[in-house]
Chains A and B, each alone.
Chain A
Amino acid sequence: GEDVEQSLFLSVREGDSSVINCTYTDSSSTYLYWYKQEPGAGLQLLTYIFSNMDMKQDQRLTVLLNKKDKHLSLRIADTQTGDSAIYFCAETSDYKLSFGAGTTVTVRA
């Protein structure tokens, strides 16, 4: 986890956009990922981006990748209460996933 860093908390109003940021260190990572963890459940893959892309959009989710700065972000449009969870970014190194510490997103009414 020490090679992948992300902020620990984010509070957002329902209906607003959420932006979760992440920095990573392994420039050889082929793919970068965002996972969601809800209480009592396993990690769920939300989306991933190939390292030669700089943006990927999937419904309400937008992933931006700045490979030069090794910066990854996840934008959730029109954030809903069901989006409250812990979000992990992850990179692959030698086919192993390295995770950040997770960002706890709290959606308030």
Chain B
Amino acid sequence: GAVVSQHPSWVICKSGTSVKIECRSLDFQATTMFWYRQFPKQSLMLMATSNEGSKATYEQGVEKDKFLINHASLTLSTLTVTSAHPEDSSFYICSPRARVRSGPVDTQYFGPGTRLTVL
């Protein structure tokens, strides 16, 4: 399967600091990037969708000024959690989707996730 990397895999930071998470699709080009958040024992919640070169579309209830998404290239997207607080502690997962015209979403891949802990 396709390789997706996320960096860092885990991070601990102080309240008020900003944290940047990188997501790279290593062997394919991602025209669309999805960012998810997962709480323990809960489902993945879609935070935002971004297309390369365009502004991200945020889901209802997700603050765009707090979760900055940049999808500057077809192989790299970043999520920056600004002024992080303990309630932002979660598992963040990126999910790049390869260029497709039709068919099932079996070309949507998932990164290994980043565990963020805000003290």
* Chain A contacts to B: CB under 8 angstroms: 1, 4, 8, 30-31, 33, 35, 40-45, 48, 50, 88, 92, 95-102
Contact = CB atoms under 8 A, between A and B. Distances in A.
Given A31-B105, A97-B105, A88 B113 contact: no
A48 B45 CA distance: 20
Contact of B43 (A41, A42, A95, A99): A99
B104 A50 contact: yes
B4 A42 contact: yes
Interface of B: 1, 4, 9, 34, 41-46, 49, 93, 95, 104-106, 108-113
Contacts of A45: 1, 106, 108
A26 to B, nearest CB: 14
B41 A99 contact: no
B93 A42 contact: yes
A42 B105 contact: no
A4 to B, nearest CB: 7
B113 A101 contact: no
B43 A102 contact: yes
Contacts, number: 60
A100 B105 contact: no
Contacts of A95: 105
B111 A42 contact: yes
B44 to A, nearest CB: 5
Nearest to A49: B104
A96 B44 CA distance: 12
Given A40-B112, A43-B93, A101 B43 contact: yes
Contacts of B104: 30-31, 33, 48, 50
B49 A96 contact: yes
A-B pairs with the 8 shortest C-beta distances? A1-B43, A42-B110, A43-B110, A99-B43, A101-B43, A31-B104, A42-B112, A99-B44
